[in-house]
């Protein structure tokens, strides 16, 4: 029997349990469980159902036993910036309020009164986004101070799920960096910044790194799933895992991790926390082996997903894409990163309002979004080339959005470097790679990426 590794990859709309193993020198994967996810309104805020997430994680682990493929190791990755607060007994305090909640924008000016945006960027290197953890904690301080008063630990979402499984509370580095509270130079929580902002210092402990071991399952979870295993930290921020699975060892590659969000950037070994970098909205999220994911966050396919949902399932993604292709092009464009598209009641109305129209035909509306995304990607690539200090010679589109040939083709037409698409399951594969690096299946990131290239389809656009 092969040694099975389990990647639990949870995004904003769904989570998957994907088993991985080595067969004839290649990485094999199999999806064994999938569950829905999303924010719901609770107590006047958009929140994650952390209890449901934990139950779904356990249900998928049980499924592995049912099909006779019991993993020896597992890792969990999710989105960034959001967290759960625990009291000294390990109980959750308050709701897990999500990054799309309106409270965060109101907290940003309060942080600015204490720490200027320039100083915050110099310290952390993180793109200024109103939902960063640094602003969410200020919202807690302003509107629910009792949660901070009684909190003993802050756990990012994957840290919390690991705690449920093992009873061990770790804080993993890559996810922590997304919140603009980790010092760019030290790679640890910036305690001077945290103290300045008046956040309880006891919430922040030593950071664990990707490939570190979290622990084994508690007796309760062992009894529930029917086996034990070792939980290993992947890059628990999903983009960190996706970037690890880039199918190239070129230092000059640009990546586009494409899904609900589009994360476009390069890997750097040294940071660039200059004003020029800040003004172009580049961030320094943590990566495996202390590499920096020098990238910018782009709203991504969230806009298309929201349109589809608003139409009540009447159209598939392919249907919407075909409608856009029939139109070909339109005079309308949107800034896909405009705050009006973060969590509107109606995405269709938000686009019409932005364009100054009242009832744009659906095909033209979707065409506008596709072309606006491609334009933003091309602009970001130009910015990267101007600031990187080295030639950039290829774009690798990875993740679920790499299946969208139309968007890839629109992007390729606007840039002067080759475009490659795949693998589509980059995040789960990167999660598996960290586990395999930790257990010496691969001896280096280069070996792991070479295995990705040899194991999965990568096509030139």
Catalytic annotation, residues: 238
Neighbouring residues of 382: CB distance < 8 A, sequence distance ≥ 6:
none
Q: Would you say 451 and 430 are in contact if contact means Cβ atoms under 8 Å apart?
A: no
Neighbouring residues of 313: CB distance < 8 A, sequence distance ≥ 6:
none
**Rounded Cα–Cα distance for residues 153 and 29 (Å):** 35
Burial class (CB in 10 A: 0-12, 13-18, 19+), 149: exposed
**Rounded Cα–Cα distance for residues 127 and 150 (Å):** 30
**Rounded Cα–Cα distance for residues 284 and 79 (Å):** 16
Backbone angles phi, psi at 7, to 5 degrees: -100, 120
Distances in whole angstroms, Cα of residue 374 to Cα of each of 88, 222, 331, 415: 48, 47, 14, 10
Both tokens of 287, joined, read 């990566």
Q: Would you say 32 and 70 are in contact if contact means Cβ atoms under 8 Å apart?
A: no
- Distinct helix (H) and strand (E) counts, the chain: 18, 21
Torsion of CA 95, 263, 265, 207, to 10 degrees: 20
Distances in whole angstroms, Cα of residue 347 to Cα of each of 282, 305, 327, 344: 26, 10, 20, 6
Q: Would you say 40 and 51 are in contact if contact means Cβ atoms under 8 Å apart?
A: no
Distances in whole angstroms, Cα of residue 329 to Cα of each of 139, 415, 432: 42, 17, 40
**Rounded Cα–Cα distance for residues 72 and 361 (Å):** 52
Neighbouring residues of 141: CB distance < 8 A, sequence distance ≥ 6:
148, 198, 199
**Rounded Cα–Cα distance for residues 136 and 93 (Å):** 15
Residue among 260, 256, 346, 335 at smallest CA distance from 302? 260
């Amino acid at each position: 029997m092969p040694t099975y590794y389990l990647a639990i990859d949870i995004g904003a709309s769904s989570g998957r349990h994907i088993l991985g193993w080595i067969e004839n020198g290649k990485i094999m994967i199999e999806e064994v469980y999938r569950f829905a996810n999303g924010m719901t309104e609770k107590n006047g805020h958009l929140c994650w159902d952390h209890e449901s997430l934990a139950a779904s994680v356990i249900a998928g682990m049980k499924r592995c036993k049912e099909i006779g493929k019991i993993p020896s190791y597992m890792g969990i990755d999710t989105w960034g910036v959001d967290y759960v607060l625990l009291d000294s007994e390990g109980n959750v305090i308050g709701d897990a309020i999500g990054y799309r909640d309106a409270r965060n924008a109101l907290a940003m000016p309060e942080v600015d009164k204490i720490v200027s945006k320039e100083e915050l960027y110099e310290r952390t290197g993180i793109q200024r986004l109103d939902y960063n953890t640094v602003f969410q904690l200020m919202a807690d301080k302003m509107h629910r101070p009792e949660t901070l008063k009684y909190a003993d630990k802050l756990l990012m979402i994957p840290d919390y799920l690991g705690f449920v499984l093992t009873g061990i509370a770790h804080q993993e580095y890559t996810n922590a960096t997304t919140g603009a509270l980790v010092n760019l130079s030290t790679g640890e929580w910036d305690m001077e910044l945290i103290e300045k902002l008046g956040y309880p210092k006891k919430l922040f402990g030593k950071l664990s790194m990707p490939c570190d071991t979290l622990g084994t399952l508690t007796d309760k979870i062992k009894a529930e799933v029917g086996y034990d295993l070792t939980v290993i930290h992947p890059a628990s921020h999903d983009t960190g895992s996706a970037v690890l699975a880039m199918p190239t060892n070129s230092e000059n590659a640009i990546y586009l991790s494409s899904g609900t969000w589009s994360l476009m950037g390069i890997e750097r070994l040294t940071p660039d926390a200059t004003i020029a970098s800040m003004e172009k909205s580049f961030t320094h999220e943590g990566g495996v082996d202390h590499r920096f994911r020098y990238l910018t966050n782009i709203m991504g396919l969230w806009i298309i997903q929201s349109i589809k949902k608003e139409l009540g399932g009447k159209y598939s993604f392919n249907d919407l894409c075909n409608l856009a292709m029939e139109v070909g092009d339109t005079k309308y464009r949107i800034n896909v990163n405009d705050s009006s598209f973060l969590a509107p009641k109606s995405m269709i109305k938000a686009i019409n309002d932005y364009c100054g129209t009242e009832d744009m035909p659906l095909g033209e509306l979707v065409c506008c979004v596709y072309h606006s995304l491609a334009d933003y990607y091309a602009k970001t690539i130009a910015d990267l080339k101007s600031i990187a200090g080295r030639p950039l010679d290829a774009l690798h589109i990875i993740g679920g959005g790499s299946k969208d040939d139309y968007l890839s083709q629109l992007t390729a037409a606007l840039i002067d470097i080759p475009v490659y698409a795949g693998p589509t399951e980059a995040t789960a594969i990167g999660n598996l790679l960290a586990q395999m690096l930790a257990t010496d299946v691969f001896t280096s990131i280069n070996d792991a990426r070479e295995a990705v290239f040899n194991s999965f389809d990568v096509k030139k656009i």
